[in-house]
Chain A
Amino acid sequence: MPYLDTSVLISLILPKDPNREHAERLVREVLGSLRISAWTLAEALGVLSRQVKRRSEVRELVEEWLEESGIPPSYLSDLSDEKLASEYIDLWMVKRNINVCNDPIIVDTLAVGVHDVRAFWAIRDAAELAARLGLSAADAMHLAYVWRLCPGPFITLDSDFTCIAEQARSLGIEVRGPPCKRDP
C-alpha cells in the first residue's frame, strides 16, 4: 500500500496548495489505500500549527462560532493552534480514508561499533538507511516505514527523494515523485 511523504499529505489537505494537482495525480497512479506514519503526522502537525499561528483568520472564525454557541471564554483560550491542526488532520484523514502505519513499538538493538544500543524498530532502520543512502535521519525515518514495517511505494513531492530512487530501489524501496533536479 502506498505511503505518503509529509509534503503530499499537506498538499492534499490544503485545496489551494500549488502542488495539489501533482499530489492528486501521484496518488491516483497507485493502487491501495493510502498510508502515513506517526512521523508524517509529527511533521505535518509541526508545519500546519506553525502556519495557523501565523495566519489566524480561520482559527478566529472557529473561535467566533464557538463563542456564539455559548462556549465559555476560558475554554476558548485552551483551543490551541496545535489542537485545531490536530483535529483538522484527524477529521480530514477519516474523510479521505487515510490509514496510519503503526509503529510496532518493538525495541530492537542498533549496532554502533561494538555496542548495541536499544532503539525502536523504525529508528533502528532509519539509522541504517541514513548511513546507506546518505540521508538525514528525518528523511530516513519515512523510508524506514516503507522498507520493512509497511512495504509499498513511497509517494513524495520532494525531488530530493527521487534523486536517491536508484539506491533506494536496490534496497527494495520504490520512490515515486517528481524528476530529480540535482545536477548529475
Chain B
Amino acid sequence: MDPGFEAYRIVNEISGGRATNFRMISTKPPLDSFGPRVVVEVDADAREALEIWVRAAREARGKGFILEVRWTREMNVSAEELIRYAVRALVEMEIPLFIDPDFDSVEAVREARRRIRGEARGDAPCHT
C-alpha cells in the first residue's frame, strides 16, 4: 500500500476523521531503511495532535514509512513536552536512537568498561 495513503488512513482513523492532508518527504541513507517521512496534518491543537501521533506511531511500526503529524490549531505544548512526544513516537515506531549496522551491544559495553581503564581504541591511560 502507498505509504502516504496508509499513514493518512491510520491518523484519520485514530483522530476520528480529523486528518486534513498529507505530504511525503524522501529520506537519505541510512534513514531510508525506514522508508519516507509522511507528514499528516490534523485539525487539532498541538497537544491533541501529538497524542494522536503517539497512538498512530504504534500502528505505523514496520509499515515502511516514518510517521509525523502537524496541527492546524494552537501550539499549546512546551519545548520539553514536544521533545518527549517526539521521542515517544520514535520508541513506538521502533526507530532506534542511532543507526549503525556494525553496533554490537555486548562489544559496546565491554569497550565502555575497558575505556574506564583507558584500554579501548588505543586511548592512552591518563598519567598525571
Contact = CB atoms under 8 A, between A and B. Distances in A.
Interface in A48-101: 48, 50-52, 54-59, 61-62, 65-66, 68-72, 75, 79, 83-85, 87-88, 91-92, 95
B87 interface: yes
Contact of B104 (A5, A17, A95): A17
Given A11-B105, A19-B106, A47 B83 contact: no
Nearest to B88: A91
Contacts, number: 123
Interface size grouping (class) on chain A: 35 or more
A69 B104 contact: no
Interface centre among B37, B75, B97, B100 (most CB of A within 10 A): B97
Contact of B79 (A10, A61, A71, A139): A71
Interface in B78-128: 79, 82-84, 86-88, 90-92, 94-101, 103-106, 108-110, 112-113, 116
A79 B83 contact: yes
A84 B113 contact: no
Contacts of A17: 103-105
Nearest to A72: B79
Contacts of A47: 105, 108-109, 112
Nearest to B28: A57
B31 interface: yes
Contact of B96 (A13, A65, A79, A160): A13
A35 B52 CA distance: 30
B66 interface: yes
A52 B98 contact: yes
A62 B87 contact: yes
A66 B109 contact: no
Nearest to A68: B70
B30 interface: yes
A6 B100 CA distance: 18
A15 B68 CA distance: 20
Contacts of B99: 16, 55, 57-58
A114 interface: no
A65 B88 contact: no
Nearest to A87: B87
Nearest to B49: A69
